[in-house]
Amino acid sequence: MQSYFHFGQISAQQIVITVKQFFQKDPSAVAFLEEIIVRRELSDNFCYVNPKYDSYDGFLDWAKETLNKHRKDESKFIYSLEEFEEANTHEDLWNAAKKELLINGKMHGYMRLYWAKKILEWKKSPEEALPIAIHLNNKYELGGRDPNG
């Protein structure tokens, strides 16, 4: 739904009203509403109040702590932006996810988490990984360039 919200084809508010009207007791609807209301609003708010939302400096302290604990972790593989763009890594699953993004303009949410974590693993630092993940997401994801994208 993110791409439809992004391009203004449908209103998140209208979707929430409709789901509550017809599917309120459905467990899937409850999860969907949590995602569309809570997560979307939290990401909008985070970007609104944090001018450094798209940089390492904007990360919350707990995230920086975790990332800093792993700064000396070594990866057998380091890839360039071009290799990421071309889905040219050693890992078929990551490459398939990138190709899905290229072909469909979207990727399943859990797969996106994995995909971004691998970019972090295959760069020397979070400061190098983040701009690549943002670039690829914003370039290929139809719902990219949104706080929740």
1, pLDDT greater than 90:
no
Distances (CA, A) of 118 to 10, 44, 100, 124, 132: 33, 25, 16, 12, 11
Hey, what are 138's tokens? 């914003």
pTM across the whole model: 0.87
The Cβ of residue 77 has, within 10 Å, a number of other Cβ atoms equal to: 12
pLDDT at res. 109: 84
> What is the overall mean pLDDT for the chain?
94
Instruction: Give the CATH number of the domain where residue 101 resides.
Output: 1.10.579.10
Report pLDDT digits (tens) over 93-147: 999 999 999 999 999 888 999 999 999 999 999 999 999 999 999 999 998 888 8
Residue 14 shares a structural domain with residue 76 = no
Number of domains composing the chain: 2
What range does the domain containing 32 cover? 1-49
**Measured distance CA(92)–CA(10) in Å, rounded:** 35
* Tokens 């400061």, residue located: 127
* Tokens 């209208």, residue located: 14
Nearest to 36 by CA among 49, 23, 48: 23
Hey, what are 102's tokens? 């290229």
Residue 67 shares a structural domain with residue 128 = yes
Nearest to 87 by CA among 56, 118, 58: 118
pLDDT at res. 75: 92
Residue 63 shares a structural domain with residue 115 = yes
Residue 61 shares a structural domain with residue 80 = yes
Hey, what are 88's tokens? 């040219």
4, pLDDT greater than 90:
no
* Residue 148 in domain: no
Residue 45 shares a structural domain with residue 71 = no
Residue 45 shares a structural domain with residue 28 = yes
* Residue 149 in domain: no
